[in-house]
Amino acid sequence: MTGRGVAERSSCRGRGSAALTLAVTLLLAPRQEARAEDFVDYRYEDYAETGGRMNVRTQGLTGSQDIGTDMQVGFTLINDAIAGASPTGERAPASGQVPLAYLADHRKAWEIDLSRQIGRVNVAMGYSQSREHDYVSRGWSLTTLTDFNHKNSEVRVGIAGHADDVETFFDPQHAYFGKQAFSAIIGVHQLLDPLTTVTVNVTWSRETGFLDDQYKLVEKTVELVPGSFFDLVYAENRPDMRDSGVAYASVNRAFPSTDGALEASYRFYADTYGIDSSTGELRWIQKWGAHVTLAPELRASAQGAAHFYAYDLDETDIMPTVVPHPSGPNYSSDYRLSALDTVSAGLRATWKAADHVQLEAGYVRYAMHGRDGVTPQSAYPVANILSAGARFSW
């Protein structure tokens, strides 16, 4: 998809983003050509924020199998264990550490897709589901990949969507609210010469319905009686529609003299929340002997704040309501919607253990830094990400 985008690495079950990510991933997932190598791929990732904050352990199983000469079926199974503490959105006390709330959940997700080669066009359809104890997401996709110019050029066109049900606890009846999304992509992959390829994608998405994170709060000092002030907390209140767009470009260049290759990409994101972000990524892929590949990577991004983000509401005229309503004033103290920078650096190693067996391990150090001068730095996470995987092909 778009990588770790806005609200990168949601450290408190940002399921709205997770569901949209799942839908757009259906669009962007690479489709194997007919008669390509069939495989089963297992992946494990441990995302652990320092200071006892969020820990997400993910196991994933992906497979692909040809059916005849022009059809292929693929599947993905994901199992997440989520536990740890995350900022609530309340003000930090004198110690400077923002208040944290402990969260725990278990997410199970699956996807299946079927693709068929029809002349120069590969048509793929996908369906997915993701479930947590209070959140269900169902997604679909339709994508075409057409080759031109003796397969030196490819054009991708696709649409995807999802429909979600969110259980809310601030509503006395714990009602389920709906959320929908639709995404579209058009992209080009071009071989410039035997050593260089370029990819350009443009993606547009619209989310509607319940877009709040019900686990995030805002705080306001209120004069309940003359001369008596109290710090009160309320649920956040985001708009019920969000349009977003992504422009992505990458270039891959091989350097045979060094047995290496460079991957460089840039991504620009903007949405109707007022958020915009720029992300650049560099990865060097280096062969080391006949069976080992090392890939160091560096990634950095800068994000602007949502127009309704505020550390607290004391400097505003907004009087929040007990039950959020998107038609009223919008407000959120979710640090992921603030102005921030992120940087990550890591190394991935791949070992071809046998003709049809490949093993992989990686480490990434990830850090987020606020830059609005108001939100305490204790709100922003630093994380270590360990990963391992194995691929079996036939």
Domain membership flag for residue 2: no
Domain membership flag for residue 5: no
Single-letter code of the amino acid located at 154: E
Q: What is the CATH number of the domain that holds 113?
A: 2.40.160.40
* Better pLDDT: 8 or 97: 97
- Token pair of 393 as six digits: 């092909």
Specify the pTM.
0.90
How many separate domains does the chain show? Answer: 1
Domain membership flag for residue 4: no
Containing structural domain, residue 152: 15-393
pLDDT at 35: 47
Could you tell me the CA-to-CA distances from 350 to 179, 239, 353 in Å, in that order? 40, 44, 9
267-290 confidence digits (pLDDT tens): 999 999 999 999 999 999 999 999
- Token pair of 54 as six digits: 């969020």
33-73 confidence digits (pLDDT tens): 444 689 999 999 999 999 999 999 999 999 999 999 899 99
172-229 confidence digits (pLDDT tens): 666 789 999 999 999 999 999 999 999 999 999 999 999 999 899 999 999 888 989 9
pLDDT at 323: 83
Domain membership flag for residue 8: no
Domain membership flag for residue 51: yes
Domain membership flag for residue 235: yes
Q: Mean pLDDT over residues 145-168, rounded?
A: 95
At residue 171 the predicted structure's pLDDT band, cuts being 50, 70 and 90, is low
pLDDT at 153: 97
> Which of 305, 233, 303, 338 minimizes the C-alpha distance to 5?
303
Domain membership flag for residue 280: yes
> Which of 314, 257, 253 minimizes the C-alpha distance to 285?
253
How far apart CA 116 and CA 152 sit, in angstroms, is 20
Domain membership flag for residue 108: yes
Q: Is the pLDDT of residue 31 over 70?
A: no
At residue 19 the predicted structure's pLDDT band, cuts being 50, 70 and 90, is very low
> Which of 114, 125, 124, 109 minimizes the C-alpha distance to 164?
109
At residue 1 the predicted structure's pLDDT band, cuts being 50, 70 and 90, is very low
